[in-house]
Amino acid sequence: MMSQLLLFFILVPAIGLLVSLLPGKTSEKKLYFASLGTLWVYFAGLIFTTVYFFSTGRQSLYTEILTYYEKGHSHLSFDLYFDWLTMVYGWVSVILSLLVVRFSRYYLHRDKGYKRFFNNILFFFLGLNFVIFAGNFETLIIGWEVLGISSFFLIGYYRLRYLPVKNAIKVVSLYRLSDITLLLAIWLCHLAFDRNINFVELANTDGWAEQMAHNPAYFFLIPFFFLVVAAIKSAQLPFSSWLPRAMEGPTTSTAIFYGALSVHIGIFLLLRVEPLWEDKIIFRVFLGLLGLTTSLVATSIASVQSSVKIQIGYSSIAQIGIMFIEVALGLHVLAVLHFTGNAFLRAYQLLVSPSVLNYLIHEQYFHFEAPSDRSWFKKDHRLRSSIFILSVKEFHLDKLHYSVLWMPFKVLGYQLRFLSSKTGYIITGLFILSAIGLIFTSLGHVNHKIDLIFSGLFGIYSFLLVLQSFTERQSVFRAWMYLVLAQFFIVFAAAYNGSIDFNESLLYLSGVILAGGVGHYCLHKLNVEEPIHDLAGHYGHIYEHPKLGMGFLFAGLAIAGFPISPTFVGLDIVYSNMHKGEFFLPIIIAFTLIFIEISAIRLYSRVYLGPHVKLYHPVAFRSS
C-alpha cells in the first residue's frame, strides 16, 4: 500500500504545474503561492515517506503504476522506486526549490516573464521527480527529456535577445545527444537481459551469470553509454563548455538548475546503474581519469575567467569531476554528501553573485597583497602563459563541439541540396511507393534479405531528409515537411525490419500526423499575417503571436517524440523490439532522432524567438 503512495510525488508537481497555468500574467501573488504550496505539500509527503523508510529498516519501495505496452519480451510500464539515493536527492531538491521560489518572488517582481518562470520551475521539478523516483529506464527517460526541454525554456528566458536563444539551442543540442545515447543504452540493456528490466531487478545481481555469459559485449558497452549520458548532463569533458552558456537565464534558475540540481543528475545516474559497472575495473579507471582530467581543466579555466557566473560554473564542474572520482573508488556515500554540500554552496553563490563583484572590489581595496613568484610553475613563463591562454579560451571546447559534432552534418546537408529539386521529389515519391508496397505485402517479411535492404534504405533516407531540414535556410514549410517525412520513413524502416506491426505503426504515425498538421497550421496562420521570407535570421514573432508560438513548440516536441504524444510510445516499442545483432538501423534512427528535435527547436527559435523583425519593438544588441 505504501508503495502505491509514491505516485504522490509525481501527482503533486503535475497538479501544481496545472494550477500555476490558471492565474494571469499579472497575478504574481497567486503564481507564487501556487508554486510555494506545491513544494510545501511535497515537503510534507517526503517527511512521511522518510519516516516510514527508516522505520522499516531502510527497505526500498517499488510499485508498477501502469503498463502501457506488453508483447513478448517487451514490457513497457510506468514504475516508481524509492531508496536512500532517491531520499537524498528528493530532500535536496525540495529544500533548494523552496529557497529559490521564495527568492524569485522578489527578484523577478514585475518581470514580463514572471508567470513563465514559475511555470518552468514547476515543469523542471516535475521532470526531476520523474528521474529520481523512476523505477525503470522507461520512466527515467521521460524525466530526462523533460529536464532537457525545461533547460531550453529557462536558458532562453530572455527570448527576444540573440545570445540567450543561441545558447539555449547549443545546450539543448548536447542534451538531445544525451537523451538519444540514453535511449541506446536502454536498448542495449534490453538486448543484454532479453527483456525490460526494472531497478529492483537491476540491484539483484545474483541471476546475471547466464546473461553475462551469453552477452559479454553488451555488458561491456552498456556502462560506457551511461557514462556518456552522465558526462553530458554533468558537463564533464569534453562537454564542459555548455554550462557557462547556460548562465544566460535568470540568476534564480541558474542557481537551481546549473549550480545545484540538474548538473548533478549525472552522479545520480551513475549510482543508479552501479550494478552494471561495479565489477569492471577498466570502466572504473576510465571514470576516475575522466573526473580527474575534468577537475584539473575546469579549475584552470575558472581561475582566469572575468565573469563571476562562469567562475562558479567551472568551479562546480571541477567539484563534480571529484565526485566522479569518488564514485569510481566506490565511495558512494561520500559522493552523495559531496553533492549535497556542493549543491547548496553553488546555489548560494549564484544567488548572491550580483553582489560578489562589489565584495571583491572592497576586499582588494583594503587587503591587496601582491602575489609571490616563488614556485617553479610561476617562473616557467612559457608553460604558465600557454595554460593561461588555453584557459581563457576555455580549451576551445566550443569550437571542438562545432567542428566534430555538428559541422560534418551541416556540410553533408549542404551537399544534399538536390533533394529540394524535382529529382529529390521523384526519389521521395519512389520511396513512398515502396512503402505502400509494404502494406500490400503485410508489412514485409516476403524475403528477409530484401526486407533488411529496404529497412536500411528507409533509415538512411530518413536521416538525409532530417539533415535537409537541419540546413534549410529558404522555406520554413519545406523544412517542416522534411521532419514529418523523416518520421514516416523511420516507421517504414522499422516495419520492414519487423520491429513494429501494422497497429503499432498506426500508433506511431498518429502522433506524427497530428503534430505535423498542428505545426503546419501554426506556420500557415503566422505566414498569412507576418510573411516568413527565409530562415537566415530570427523573427521574434512570439512577441505578437504567443499562442501560435506555443502551438508550434508543442508540435515540434511531439514530432521529435517528446513524452506528450503517441510517437514517444512508438519509439519505445521500436527499440524494445529491435533484433539482436542488428546495429545499423538502431544507430541510424538514433542519429535521425537527434537532428529531428534540434531541427524542430531551430525552426521554432528562428521563427518565434530572438530580436523582433519589426523595428518599432525594442531590440537588444547581439552582444547583450
Q: Over the stretch 602-622, which tens digit does the pLDDT of each residue have?
A: 999 999 998 887 766 666 666
H or E stretch covering 553: helix 546-559
What pLDDT digit, counting tens, does each position of 128-161 carry?
A: 999 999 989 989 999 999 998 988 888 888 888 8
User: Is residue 7 packed enough to be buried (19+ CB in 10 Å), middle (13-18) or exposed (0-12)?
Assistant: middle
DSSP states along 60-96: -EEEEEEEEEEETTEEEEEEEEE-HHHHHHHHHHHHH
Q: Report the C-alpha gap between 228 and 230 in whole angstroms.
A: 5
Alpha-carbon distances of 191 from 125, 136, 146, 215, 219, rounded to whole Å: 32, 15, 26, 8, 10
Cα 341 to Cα 300, 335, 416, distances in angstroms: 22, 10, 51
Task: For residue 597, count other CB atoms closer than 10 A to its CB.
Answer: 27
Distance (Å, rounded) from C-alpha 280 to C-alpha 151? 33
What is the DSSP track for 34-56?
A: HHHHHHHHHHHHHHHHHHHHHHT
Mean pLDDT by 10 residues, the chain (624 residues): 82 93 85 93 94 90 85 80 94 93 87 88 93 92 90 86 87 89 89 83 72 75 93 90 82 78 91 90 94 93 83 90 94 94 89 68 57 55 76 80 82 74 62 59 57 82 89 89 90 82 85 92 91 84 89 92 86 80 84 91 91 71 58
Q: Could you report the per-residue pLDDT of 504-548, keeping only the tens digit for each?
A: 888 888 999 999 999 999 999 999 988 887 888 888 888 889 899
Residue 25: φ, ψ to 5°:
-65, -25
Phi-psi region of 540 (alpha: psi -120 to 50; beta: other; left: phi over 0): left
| Residue 413 CB-density burial (10 A; 0-12 exposed, 13-18 middle, 19+ buried) | buried
Could you tell me the end-to-end alpha-carbon distance of the chain, in angstroms, rounded to an integer? 54
| Residue 355: strand, helix, or coil | helix
Is residue 478 within 8 Å of residue 472, measured between CB atoms? yes
The closest alpha carbon to 570, from 493, 511, 486, 482, belongs to 511
pTM here is: 0.90
3-state SS assignment for residue 289: helix
Question: For residues 313 and 263, what is the distance between their CA atoms, to the nearest angstrom?
Answer: 10
